[in-house]
Amino acid sequence: MKKIGLISLAVALFLSMFAMGAQAASRTGNLTITGSSALLPLMLQAKKEFNKSNPRVKIAVSGISSIVGPQAVKRGTAQIGTCDWDASTSVPGFKAFPGQVAHKVAAIPFAFVVHKDNPVNNITQQQAIGIYRGEITNWSQLGGNNAPIVVNNRSFGSGTRVNVIAKGLNGATGLLSSGTNYVERASSGAMKTGVESNVNAIGYIDLVYVTGNLKALSFNGVVASPRNVINKTYPIWAFGYMMTQGQPTGTTKAFIDYVQSKKFQNGSVKSLKFIPIAAIK
């Protein structure tokens, strides 16, 4: 009998005394998922939907930073590590995690973001590089208010950071790492909070977080949207991955299969502003 904390167990009604003797047929067990905060909204939604057909699987989802995903899998802390790059191969800044297998989740559009009251609506790649190098320091240099630019960056280990530097800043080096108007954010949630609470801030984040007081800037005149990623006019995006130690089995495999299913890809992946794997040609 389960323990129910706040309520009393008045009646335990058994339609049969043999109820507990039946063989459990569906998937069971615990599944822990951690890593990319960019993929956190998608993983939370997948958990809800997967549990509708698999009520006996207990799923714990969290998100902090991409590098944590494969590391948690390596340590055995999580069965699935989410990461904004394929951690089974080396990418700039990070060596491969041997023995891990990458499973695509969706394509993630990223955007440079500002407070919604910031009058600037567009940023060019050169302007973005200038800002993150500390060479452009005032919004008036972008046609905005005469106010200092507060640069928000993600901490080292962030997959969003890896992809925005590679595609938004064209792999630029010599970027800011400290300063009066420079802040590093540990997660997408912290980035959102930081930028939407400061009208002079700039940062970057994946599109699903662009709500409330956050505004996505067009990049080189192209609106940040799934549609423009698919038609190849908007370049700042990457595939997100679920990492496993070796090939997944059992409940872990079933969860990954669900995330990659047509139902989830054409459903929640789209509605949460991610891009289905198959849409990227």
Residues 260-279 that bind other proteins (CB under 8 A): 262-263, 266-268, 270-271, 273, 278-279
Toward other proteins, which CB reaches closer, 50 or 204?
A: 50
7-36 residues near other proteins, rule: CB under 8 A: 7-26, 28-30, 32, 34
Cα separation of 92 and 96, whole Å? 10
233: contact with other proteins by CB under 8 A: no
Length of the chain: 281
4: contact with other proteins by CB under 8 A: yes
Selected from 38, 71, 151, 216, the binder of other proteins by CB under 8 A is: 71
253: contact with other proteins by CB under 8 A: no
Residues 6+ apart with CB under 8 A from 98: none
Selected from 178, 212, 232, 247, the binder of other proteins by CB under 8 A is: 212
Cα separation of 180 and 174, whole Å? 17
81-140 residues near other proteins, rule: CB under 8 A: 92-95, 97
3-state secondary structure (DSSP) of residue 28: coil
Toward other proteins, which CB reaches closer, 138 or 231?
A: 231
| CA–CA–CA angle 72, 76, 77 (5° rounding) | 55
Cα separations (Å) of 30 from 1, 27, 141, 252?
Answer: 20, 10, 52, 9
Tokens of residue 31, six digits: 């599944």
209: contact with other proteins by CB under 8 A: yes
Phi and psi at residue 229, to the nearest 5°: -70, -45
Selected from 38, 72, 105, 238, the binder of other proteins by CB under 8 A is: 72
